[in-house]
Structure 1
Amino acid sequence: MKKNILIILSVIISNCVFAQHENHQPKADTAKTASKPKSPKMTAMAMVGNNHVHIEYGSPSVRGRSIWNGLVAYNQVWATGAHHATWIDFSQDVMIQGKHIPKGKYGFFTIPNKKTWTIILSKTWDMHLADDYKEENDILRLTVKPIKNKKITEALTYDVISTNGKKGKIKMTWEYLTVSFDFENM
Structure 2
Amino acid sequence: MNKIIILLISVVMMGCGNDPKQKESAGSQELQETHEHHETAETSPPSKTLSPYTSAMAMIGDAHIHIDYSSPSVRERIIFGGLVGYNTVWQAGAHKATWIETDKNLIIDGKALPQGKYGIFVIPGKEQWEVMFNTRWDQHGKDDYNETENVLSLSVKPVELQEIQESLKYEVIKTNGNSGVITMAWEKVKIEIPFQVGK
Give the structure-1-normalised TM-score.
0.83
| Structure-2 residue corresponding to 1:155 | 167
The amino acid across from 1:115 in the alignment is E
The amino acid across from 2:195 in the alignment is F
Q: Secondary structure at the match of 2:88?
A: coil
Q: CA deviation at 1:33?
A: 1.8
| Structure-2 residue corresponding to 1:33 | 45
Which runs of at least 4 in structure 1 moved beyond 6 Å after TM superposition? Answer: 26-32
What is the aligned-residue RMSD (CA, Å)? 1.6
Give the structure-2-normalised TM-score.
0.77
Greater helix share, 1 or 2?
Answer: 2
| Structure-1 residue corresponding to 2:76 | 64
| Structure-2 residue corresponding to 1:89 | 101
Report the count of equivalent residues. 161
1:78 and 2:90 matched = yes
Q: Secondary structure at the match of 1:163?
A: strand
Q: CA deviation at 1:111?
A: 0.1
C-alpha change, 1:154 and 1:32, in structure 2 (3 Å) is farther
Cα distance in structure 1, aligned partners of 2:105 and 2:183: 19
- Equivalent residue for 1:121, pick from 96, 113, 133: 133
Q: CA deviation at 1:32?
A: 6.9
- Equivalent residue for 2:156, pick from 126, 137, 144: 144
Cα distance in structure 2, aligned partners of 1:31 and 1:70: 38
Cα distance in structure 2, aligned partners of 1:132 and 1:69: 23
| Structure-1 residue corresponding to 2:124 | 112
C-alpha change, 1:32 and 1:43, in structure 2 (3 Å) is farther
Q: CA deviation at 1:177?
A: 0.5
**Sequence identity percentage:** 46
Where does structure 2 lack aligned partners over 5 or more consecutive residues? 1-37
C-alpha change, 1:29 and 1:103, in structure 2 (3 Å) is same
C-alpha change, 1:70 and 1:99, in structure 2 (3 Å) is same
Cα distance in structure 2, aligned partners of 1:165 and 1:69: 37
The amino acid across from 1:58 in the alignment is S
Q: CA deviation at 1:125?
A: 0.4
Q: CA deviation at 1:185?
A: 0.5
Q: CA deviation at 1:49?
A: 1.2
